[in-house]
Structure 1
Amino acid sequence: MTNYAQIALDTLFQRYDLLPKEKRYHGKWSYDIGVVLLGVKEAYHQTNEKKYLDYIKETMDFYIQSDGTIRGYSFDAMNIDYINNGKLLFLLYKETKENKYKLALDLLYQQLQEMPRTKEGSFWHKKIYPNQVWLDGLYMGAPFLAEYACTFDKPADLADVIQQFTHCYQQTVDPTTGLLYHAWDEAKIQPWANPETGCSAHFWGRSIGWFMMALVDTMALLPADVPKEALVEMFEKTLQALAKVRATENVWYQVLDKGDKKGNYLEASASSMICYAMAKAIQLGVISEKWQSFAAETYQGIIEEFVFITNEGWLNLIRNCEVAGLGGPDKRDGSFVYYISEPIITNDFKGYGAFLQASLLLQPLSKEG
Structure 2
Amino acid sequence: MTDSTMARYTPSTIGGWSYQVGLYLYGQYLVYQRTHNPADLAYIKSWVDRFVDSNGNIGQSFNNLDSMLAGRLLVIMHHETGLARYKTAATKIRNRLNSYSRTSDGGFWHADSASRAHQLWGDGTFMVNPFLVEYGQEFNDATYANDETTKQLVVYGSHLQQTSGLLRHAYDESKSASWADPARGLAPEVWCRAVGWYGMASIDVLDTVPANQPRRAQLLTILRNLAAGIERYQDPATGRWFQVVDKGSRPDDWTETSCSSMFTFTLSRAVEKGYIDPHYATVAQRGYQGVLAKVSLGSDGRTNLADISIGTNVGNYAYYTGRARATNDFHGLGAFLIMNEQLRKTANSGSPAADGVM
After superposition, residues 352-367 of structure 1 pair within 5 angstroms as 352-363=333-344
Consecutive unaligned residues in structure 1, runs of 5 or more: 1-7, 327-333
Q: Secondary structure at the match of 2:245?
A: coil
Contact 2:31 2:337 in 1 (8 A): no
Is the aligned partner of 1:182 residue 2:182?
A: no
Query: Which amino acid in the other structure matches residue 148 of structure 1?
Result: Y
Kindly provide the CA deviation profile for residues 110-142 of structure 1, in whole angstroms up to 9, marking residues without a partner as x: 122221000110000002300000000000111
* Aligned position for 1:330: none
User: Relative to structure 2, which stretch is displaced further, 338-347 or 285-294?
Assistant: 285-294
Post-superposition CA distance 1:316-353 (Å, at most 9, x none)? 11111101113xxxxxxx11111112222111101111
Equivalent residue, structure 1, for 2:3:
10
What residue in structure 2 maps to residue 58 of structure 1? Answer: 46
Q: Pick the aligned partner of 2:330 from 342, 349, 364.
A: 349
Instruction: Say yes or no: does 1:100 pair with 2:85.
Output: yes
- How far apart, in 2, do the equivalents of 1:174 and 1:282 lie? 22
Of 127, 148, 165, the residue aligned with 1:140 is 127
Q: Say whether the 8 Å CA contact 2:240–2:255 is kept in structure 1.
A: yes
1:329 match: none
Secondary structure of 1:260 counterpart: coil
Q: Give TM-score, length-normalised by structure 2.
A: 0.91
Q: Distance in 2 between matches of 1:42 and 1:53?
A: 10
- SS of the equivalent of 1:289 reads coil
2: distance between equivalents of 1:297 and 1:279? 11
Tell me the residue number matched to 2:65: 80
Alignment of 1:26-175 (within 5 A): 28-71=16-59, 73-75=60-62, 78-128=63-113, 129-154=116-141, 155-175=143-163
8 A contact 1:172–1:184 mirrored in 2: yes
2:165–2:227 contact (8 Å) kept in structure 1 = no
**Separation of aligned partners in 1, 2:201 and 2:220:** 12
Asked if the contact 2:165/2:222 (under 8 Å) is kept, the reply is no
* Structure 1 match to 2:183: 196
Q: 1:92 deviation in Å?
A: 1.1
The Cα of 1:163 is off from its aligned counterpart by: 1.2
Measured in 2, the distance between the counterparts of 1:319 and 1:157 equals 35
**1:356 positional shift:** 1.2
The equivalent residue for 1:294 is: 283
Q: Per-residue displacement from partner, 1:158-200 (whole Å, max 9, x unpaired)?
A: 212111111111111122x221100000011111000101100
Identity %: 32
In 2: Cα distance, 1:262 partner to 1:297 partner: 22
Hey, what's the Cα distance between the residues in 2 that align with 1:287 and 1:12?
Answer: 34
Q: 2:305 aligns with which of 313, 317, 338?
A: 317
Q: Cα distance, 1:39 vs. partner?
A: 1.4
Say if 2:13 is the partner of 1:21: yes
Q: Determine which of 240, 245, 262 is the counterpart of 2:228.
A: 240
Q: Counterpart amino acid of 1:137?
A: G
Letter matched to residue 21 of structure 1:
T
Please give the per-residue CA displacement for 1:236-269, whole angstroms capped at 9, x wherever unaligned. 1101011111112110110011112232111111
Which whole-Å deviations, capped at 9, do the CAs of 1:289-314 have from their partners, x for residues lacking one?
3222211111001112x222212322
Displacement of 1:42 after TM fit? 1.2
Asked if 2 retains the 8 angstrom alpha-carbon contact of 1:143 and 1:221, the reply is no
CA distance in 1 between counterparts of 2:273 and 2:189 reads 30
Q: Which of 267, 271, 289 is 1:282 aligned to?
A: 271
Any conservation in 1 of the 2:77–2:86 contact (CA below 8 Å)?
yes
Indicate the structure whose relative CO is greater, using CA pairs within 8 Å and at least 6 residues apart. 1
Determine the C-alpha separation between the residues in 2 that align with 1:89 and 1:356: 19
Q: Name the counterpart of 1:253.
A: 242
SS in 2 for 1:184: strand
Report how many aligned residue pairs link the two structures: 343
